[in-house]
Amino acid sequence: MLLFKFSLAWINLVHNRQRFITALGAVVFAVVLMFIQLGFRNAMLQSSVEFINRLDADLILTSRHRYVSFYDYTFKKNRLYQVQGFDGVQAVSPLYLAIGIWKNQGGVRQRPIRIFGYNLKSQTFSIPDIPNYINALQFPDTVIADKKSRQDFGDITPGVEVELLDRKVKIIGNFQLGTDFVADGNLITSDQNFLRIFHGHPYGDFGNIRTSLDDVDFGLIKIKSHDFNVKNLVEILNKSLPPDVVVMTKKEFIEQDIKYFDKSTPIGFMFGLGTVIGFFVGIIVVYNIIYTDINNNLPQYGTLRAIGYSNSYLFAIIVLQSAILAIIGFFPGLFASILIYQVMAKSTGLLVEMSLGVASLVAILTIFMCILAGLIGAKKIQGLDPAEVYEQKT
């Protein structure tokens, strides 16, 4: 019986090749549209926290006012020394972050760029290339540049000299991190070079002046053992430290940033709306095709009804037809989207990646979209009277 349903659904779907290709194209278009919207949304969110993901830390200490990573609230360095004394803490290290103005050779292009400064004696980043340049970064006015920075920055290969806040610096190496909507490029340098670059210059939204390394952006905390009760340590630190700072696990800090970008900026709404539009475009187009197909095959459905098949049986055939269309249309859309993701990642520097979660979500939405369109179109055969069908035919 199931095989008969499948055969009938398949024949109904493909007997008119032109209509089948049109329906397939509509599903593929809707799938690609949903993938692009979800891909951009996830890329924007994941790219915005990628530098946090790459920090070699278990816990992160920040100013209590810094409820999102790019806000330039700092705390005093002695807070890190206080943390060092707690049981379970293995090491602490400061990380400095600011946006500087980049000028390439010739001074033609001026662009903001994100700069990280860190103590070269500490393992601050989980980025493979960085340890190769620790000795070279000890020299004054040296930096390493992110290979994934936007092409607008020009040549960022080792040996190139550029200006940062009117100070000449030399690129001595490269690493890979990626851009986000806060910064189109990244540089990493030593804490001493960071101070040389920003000393006496206003930075950030509040125009703060950096005069020493006493003002820290992020405190990176490593615990002695992963068997240690991390949650308990976080609670103890937050209760014991002064109220101007807060300690979170790296995961909590990432979740806080993602929540901010998703809920407090247009990112979540804009790309969510695009996904919904793609979903409803698919419903409308598939509905019209299914409805037309049912209308053209009404005598056949009337015959099935006349020989004893129920309306629910006919409904099942149409739903199966819609599900087959969804499955066949999903995979070309998936493969096309993977290619589009690769182009997007290369051209933007964002982390546009196809994940199992996104693919599963779009697959579910596609099947639901087609079945819903089929159910709406199937109302045409509700209460179908074979006699009336043949009267209309004659």
Mean pLDDT by 10 residues, the chain (394 residues): 68 79 89 92 89 95 91 92 92 94 73 94 92 96 94 88 90 92 91 92 70 93 84 94 95 93 83 88 85 77 72 81 90 96 85 91 94 84 60 53
Sign of CA dihedral 185, 189, 193, 195: positive
Residues 157 and 85 in one domain: yes
Residue that the structure tokens 């940062």 belong to? 164
**Strand 89-103 relative to strand 110-118: parallel, antiparallel, unpaired?**
antiparallel
Which residue type is seen at 254? I
Is residue 190 one of the residues assigned to a domain? Answer: yes
Q: Does some domain include residue 236? A: no
> What CA–CA distance (Å, rounded) separates 8 from 315?
12
Do 68 and 36 have their domain in common? no
Q: Are strands 161-164 and 167-175 parallel, antiparallel or unpaired?
A: antiparallel
Non-local (6+) Cβ contacts of 371 within 8 A are 319, 322, 323, 326
- Give the N- to C-terminal CA distance of the chain in Å, as an integer: 31
Residue 44 and residue 63 in one domain: no
Let me know if residue 69 belongs to a domain. yes
Residues 70 and 208 grouped into a single domain: yes
Phi, psi of 214 (to 5 degrees): -75, -20
Q: What is the per-residue pLDDT for 223?
A: 93
Give how many domains the chain has, as a whole number: 2
The pLDDT, as a whole number, for residue 26 is 87
CA distances in angstroms from 250 to 80, 186, 253, listed in the order given: 16, 21, 5
Residues 83 and 219 in one domain: yes
Cα 288 to chain centroid distance, Å, stands at: 34
The Cα–Cα gap between 274 and 375 comes to 24
User: Which residue type does 390 have?
Assistant: Y
- Whole-model pTM: value is 0.81
Instruction: Indicate whether 100 and 213 sit together in one domain.
Output: yes
According to DSSP, the residues that pair with 91 across neighbouring strands are: 222
CA–CA dist 201, 165 (Å, integer)? 8
Statement to judge: residues 350 and 307 lie in one domain? yes
Q: Are 68 and 97 in contact (CB under 8 A)?
A: no
DSSP assignment of 262-321 equals HHSSHHHHHHHHHHHHHHHHHHHHHHHHHHHHHHHTHHHHHHHHHTT--HHHHHHHHHHH
The pLDDT of residue 2 is 61
Is residue 118 one of the residues assigned to a domain?
yes
According to DSSP, residue 380 is labeled G
User: What's the one-letter identity of residue 164?
Assistant: L
Tokens of 297: 């095959």
Q: Of 225, 253, 287, at which residue does a domain stop?
A: 225
Same domain, 150 and 278: no
Same-domain status, 101 and 215: yes
Characterize 250-288 residue by residue with b for buried, 16 or more Cβ atoms within 10 angstroms of its Cβ, and e for exposed.
beebbebbbebbbeeeebbeebeebbeebbebbbebbbe
Please give the residue range of the domain that contains residue 217: 59-225
- How many Cβ atoms sit within 10 Å of the Cβ of residue 147? 16
Percentages (nearest 5) of helix, strand, coil residues in the chain: 55, 20, 25
Within a domain: 230 = no
| 43/66 same-domain check | no
54 within a domain of the structure (yes/no)? no
Give the pLDDT score at 327: 92
Contacts of residue 364, Cβ cutoff 8 Å, sequence gap at least 6: none
Residues 6+ apart with CB under 8 A from 64: 243, 244, 245, 246
Q: Are residues 333 and 281 in the same domain?
A: yes
- For residue 247, tell me if it sits in a domain: no
Are 352 and 317 in the same domain? yes
Look at residues 115, 114, 116 and name the one whose alpha carbon lies nearest to residue 93: 116
Return the sign of the alpha-carbon dihedral for residues 284, 289, 291, 292: positive
Query: What is the C-alpha to C-alpha distance for residues 218 and 335, in angstroms, rounded to an integer?
Result: 41
Out of 164, 193, 225, pick the residue that ends a domain: 225
Domain assignment present for residue 252? The answer is: no
**Other C-beta atoms lying within 10 Å of the C-beta of residue 292:** 15
Q: Last residue of some domain: 174, 203, 225?
A: 225
Q: Specify the pLDDT at position 381.
A: 72
